[in-house]
Amino acid sequence: MAEVKMFGAWGSPFSKRVEMGLKLKGVEYEYIEEDLNNKSSLLLNYNPVHKKVPVLVHNGKPIAESLIILEYIDEAWEGPDILPKDPYERANARFWAKFIDEKCMPPMWKACWSIGEERAKAKEEASEALKFLENEINGQKFFGGDTIGLVDIAANFIGYWFRIAEEIVGLELMTQDKYPNLCKWAEEYCKCSFVKENLPPKDKLADIFKGIIQAQSAPK
Amino acid sequence: MADELVLLDVHVSMFGMRVRIALAEKGIKYEYREENLANKSTLLLETNPVHKKIPVLIHNGKPICESLIIVQYIDEVWKDKSPLLPSDPYQRAQARFWADFVDKKVFDAGRKIWRTKGEELEAAKKELIDALELLEGELGDKPYFNGDTFGFLDLAFITFYSWFHTYETCGNFSIEKHCPKLIKWAKRCMERESVSKSLADPITVYEFVLMLKKKYGH
């Protein structure tokens, strides 16, 4: 019998991506919660290169990096497609998933937790990046078309985590008037019952984010 | 209808070289167009508006960007000839993982070596050597990263071999001293025509970097 284990962290969007992929395929797995401030020797053994979550372990063999894990899940198990079948559309999906990781998430995250000029610069960078996504989602329910695909799973941070953080820090970046398509996508995305099951509780995340602000403004 | 392929590229780019190797491995004919990055063509800006970078492969008018994404596209479209990715999903995941590692760790460290001095340079050297040693560990005693045959990860990493001379000269160190097995592997890859014809000459790469250093005052 196949043995599937997953090392994750409840608040990590990368970790939740993998859980979404596994649930989409109906794969049964054992979930192991990692304390990121005190990583288990098991995790460090399975991911010695990056020492991060998520890590999927299938029959004792580890796979790391969320997007790579998602492609593995798509190839190893039957079920709804995570990536499209057409090579050109696959290339497109990989492109946008990578774009989200490299060009959207870093400045969006930075914009939340920085101040002054640093925040303005990060906000500008994030705005530009989101414009591309705004155009890409135009006229579609999901990035994957009628159903959720790789890019939608990759964009979980944008659809959920970021919206919570943005509100708490008063950022006003992904606004309705500037990004109507993205905001509509986010609404549909979070309404989706399947997605709802794979999101951390809003109040718990909000507490974490408020904690970051407090730590920043604490006297040094 | 015959396939129409155009590759927008820069001769010394280790990312562009990957696409050249993949096309050569599959025996695919294409039109090569050299870009001047200081004066990007309209075609490049139109086909890659997001990143404005090379390589871009245009297949029957449709652009594909990002070197590893392009290589996987080529492997999937021309799937009946010389497969690049292994067929086993776990091995595919490993190949993708290490190719991603090369992009993140080798490229970044290498870039810092020719752009910095003093302490920053020494730190970059250590970073690069650490990354190369990890890769050498992954290679082990196999003839290729892919096993007995040349494959995706070999292709993804061998292009950096053309930049080793530049890293070594700018950083004043020898990669062979730290990673002799990697150099043996690289020379083995260079015996393949697809590789030797696709890689830029290391001296050409170094001269290009010297030009950049002068231009940007590194």
Tell me the mean pLDDT in the region B22-32.
Answer: 98
- Domain spanning B89-216 has what CATH number? 1.20.1050.10
Decide if pLDDT at A1 tops 60. Answer: no
State whether A68 and B73 contact (CB < 8 Å): no
Mutation choice for A interface testing from B53, B64, B84 by most A CBs within 10 A:
B64
List strand residue ranges (DSSP E) for chain A, in order.
4-8, 30-33, 55-58, 61-64
Determine if residue A201 is left, alpha or beta; phi over 0 gives left, psi from -120 to 50 gives alpha, anything else beta.
beta
Q: Name the CA dihedral angle for B159, B161, B165, B166, rounded to a multiple of 10 degrees.
A: 40
Fold annotation for B5-77 = Glutaredoxin (3.40.30)
CA B22 to centroid of chain Cα atoms:
11
Q: Do A99 and B50 touch (CB under 8 A)?
A: yes
Model confidence pLDDT, tens digit, residues B42-53: 999 999 999 999
Note whether B70 contacts A: Cβ–Cβ < 8 A: yes
Stretch 80-99 of chain B: residues touching chain A, C-beta under 8 Å = 89-90, 92-94, 96-97
ipTM of the complex: 0.96
| Confidence (pLDDT) at A193 | 78
With beta carbons under 8 A apart, name residues in chain B contacting A99: 50
Given an 8 Å threshold on Cβ–Cβ distance, is A65 in contact with B100? yes
Which of B50, B76, B134 is facing A132, going by the closest CB pair? B50
3-class SS string, chain B: CCCCEEEEECCCCHHHHHHHHHHHHCCCCCEEEECCCCCCCHHHHHHCCCCCCCCEEEECCEEEECHHHHHHHHHHHCCCCCCCCCCCHHHHHHHHHHHHHHHHHHHHHHHHHHHCCHHHHHHHHHHHHHHHHHHHHHHCCCCECCECCCCHHHHHHHCCHHHHHHHHHHHCCCHHHHCHHHHHHHHHHHCCHHHHHHCCCHHHHHHHHHHHHHHHCC
> Residue B90 and residue A132: Cβ atoms within 8 Å?
no
Q: Which of A69, A94, A96 to mutate to test the interface with B (most CBs of B within 10 A)?
A: A94
Better-scored residue on pLDDT, B216 or A157: A157
Distance CA A175, CA A58 (A): 41
Mean pLDDT (chain B, rounded): 97
For residue A72, the Cα-to-chain-centroid distance in whole angstroms is: 17
Phi, psi (rounded to 5 degrees) for B164: -60, -45
- Please name the residues in contact with B168: beta carbons below 8 A apart, sequence gap of 6 or more: B174, B175
Mutate which of A75, A86, A101 to test chain B, going by most B C-beta atoms within 10 A? A75
Q: Which pLDDT value is given to residue A216?
A: 78
Nearest CB among B50, B69, B93 relative to A68 is that of B93
Backbone angles phi and psi of A31, in degrees to 5: -100, 130
Q: How far, rounded to the nearest angstrom, does the alpha carbon of residue A47 sit from its chain's CA centroid?
A: 19
CA B75 to the chain's CA centroid: 16
| Residues facing residue B57 across a β-bridge | B7, B64
Residue-level pLDDT at A4:
98
Calculate what percentage of chain A has a pLDDT beyond 90. 89
Confidence at residue A213, expressed as pLDDT on a 0 to 100 scale: 86
Answer yes or no: are the C-beta atoms of A91 and A41 closer than 8 Å.
Answer: no
Q: By C-alpha distance, which of B72, B87, B62 is closest to B19?
A: B72
Task: Find the mean pLDDT for residues B11-33.
Answer: 98
Task: Nearest chain B residue to A59 by CA: give it.
Answer: B90
pLDDT band at B2 (very low <50, low <70, confident <90, very high): confident
Order the strands of the B62-65 sheet from edge to edge. B31-34, B5-9, B56-59, B62-65
Residue A34 three-state SS: coil
Cβ A72–B89 below 8 Å, yes or no?
A: yes
Contact (CB, 8 A) for B90 and A63: yes
Average confidence (pLDDT) over B97-104: 97
pLDDT on residue A78: 96
Q: Tell me the CB-side half-sphere exposure of residue A118, using CA atoms within 13 A.
A: 8
Instruction: Considering only CA atoms, give the Rg of chain B.
Output: 17
Residues of A with CB under 8 A from a CB of B: 49, 58, 61, 63-65, 68-69, 71-72, 75-76, 87-88, 90-91, 94-95, 98-99, 103, 132
For residue A88, the chain B residue with the least C-alpha distance is B73
Of B69, B77, B93, the CB nearest to A72: B93
Do the domains at B5-77 and B89-216 have one common CATH topology? no
Q: Report domain extents, chain B.
A: 5-77, 89-216
Facing B93 at nearest CB: one of A63, A88, A90:
A63
Residue from B106, B26, B34 nearest B73 by CA: B26
Q: So what's the pLDDT on residue A2? A: 62
Nearest-5° angle of CA B29, CA A90, CA B77? Answer: 30
| Residues of chain B positioned with their CB less than 8 A from the CB of A63 | 90, 93-94, 97
Give residue B1's pLDDT band: very low, low, confident or very high (50, 70, 90): low
**Which tokens belong to A146?**
């009628």
CB-based contact A18:A12 (threshold 8 Å): no
Confidence of residue A123 (pLDDT cuts 50, 70, 90): very high
pLDDT of A219 above 70 = no
Q: Which two tokens stand for residue B64?
A: 């594909």
Ranking A47-51, A107-111, B212-216 by mean pLDDT, the lowest is B212-216
- Check CB contact of B77 with chain A, cutoff 8 Å: yes
pTM beyond cutoff 0.90: yes
| Residue A99 distance to chain B (closest CA, Å) | 9
Mutate to test the interface with B, among A63, A104, A125, A151 (most CBs of B within 10 A): A63
* Nearest by CB: B69 against A49, A95, A132: A95
